[in-house]
Amino acid sequence: MRSKFLINILEAYGGIDLWHNSKGIHASVSVKGLLFKLKRLPYFKNIKVEIDLDKFYSKITPINDNPELSGVFDNNKVYLQYSNGKILKERINPRRFFPYGRRLIYWDDLDITYFANYALWNYFTFPKLLMNSQIKWIEKENILFAEFPDYFPTHSKHQLFIFDKNTGLLKQHNYIAEVVSGFATAANVIKEHCKENGIVYPSHRIVTPQSKKNGYLKKPIIVDEYVHKLIMF
């Protein structure tokens, strides 16, 4: 049975029925930040993101500024796919390659396909993740502690979510970005929410290093993400 706290969060983001009945999300997103520079990657500028809410699937178009090329994350593999359906490259179980070897210095198109897609999948499927019985949630005041199963494509097994006491909306999400480094403690800070067609979603977030007592540092900004438009169906 869901607690009153969890129900309030779901209601703040449109209600249980909305998340139970919706199958997917399409969004337009731009992302920049220090991570892209460190990994020698171009920024995402108005990319199209397609999310499946019921399985581990996310698609980004374009990848590496090629308008004909998409990066797809599908359960335990990633692949680069042209608009005509032809697959250019694929990689099975991409997680096992991080953060070792040349990935400490730069990422290729399949690397960013994996990282960006699983990260966006987690962000966009919240708060439906609260309805997932495979995730263990522990409540403490306005905080949720999450323990994810080992097979789950996410930043780290243990994560922390901080909510606004009045609105029930997410304020901050803490984790270790393990594909970057086992020491990459990150604070994912929601700077702004947007309401569009009755749907409430985080429209601007930044990722910075964590500070003491679950706080965050103002700099450096590792990731700076804007959601320009979002549609649920």
**What pLDDT, on the 0 to 100 scale, is given for residue 103?**
97
DSSP secondary structure of 161-175: EEE-TTT--EEEEEE
Q: What is the pLDDT of residues 5-38, one digit of tens each?
A: 999 999 999 999 999 999 999 999 999 999 999 9
Q: What is the pLDDT of residues 195-225, one digit of tens each?
A: 988 899 999 999 999 999 999 999 999 999 9
Q: What is the pLDDT of residues 53-79, one digit of tens each?
A: 999 999 999 998 899 999 999 999 999
For residue 119, give both structure tokens. Answer: 């990260």
Indicate if the pLDDT at residue 2 is higher than 80. no
Are 63 and 70 in contact, with CB atoms under 8 Å apart?
yes
**What pLDDT, on the 0 to 100 scale, is given for residue 197?**
84
Side-chain-facing half-sphere of 212: CA atoms under 13 Å: 0
Bond before 67 cis per omega within 30 degrees: no
**What pLDDT, on the 0 to 100 scale, is given for residue 137?**
97
**What pLDDT, on the 0 to 100 scale, is given for residue 1?**
58
Placement of tokens 């139970």 in the chain: 20
| Residue 22 amino acid letter | S
Reduced to 3 states (helix: H, G, I; strand: E, B; else coil), residue 42 is: coil
Q: What is the mean pLDDT of residues 112-117?
A: 98
Reduced to 3 states (helix: H, G, I; strand: E, B; else coil), residue 51 is: strand
CATH number of the domain that residue 176 is part of: 2.50.20.10
pTM of this structure: 0.96
Pick from 54, 53, 87, 93: which is nearest to 72 by CA? 87
Q: Which domain holds residue 119?
A: 4-232
* Distance between CA atoms of residues 46 and 17, nearest Å: 30
**What pLDDT, on the 0 to 100 scale, is given for residue 198?**
84
Q: How many CB atoms lie within 10 A of CB 191?
A: 13
**What pLDDT, on the 0 to 100 scale, is given for residue 126?**
97
Domain count, the chain: 1
Are 129 and 121 in contact, with CB atoms under 8 Å apart?
no
Q: What is the helix, strand, coil percentage profile of the chain, to 5?
A: 20, 45, 35
Task: Give percent above pLDDT 70 in the chain.
Answer: 100
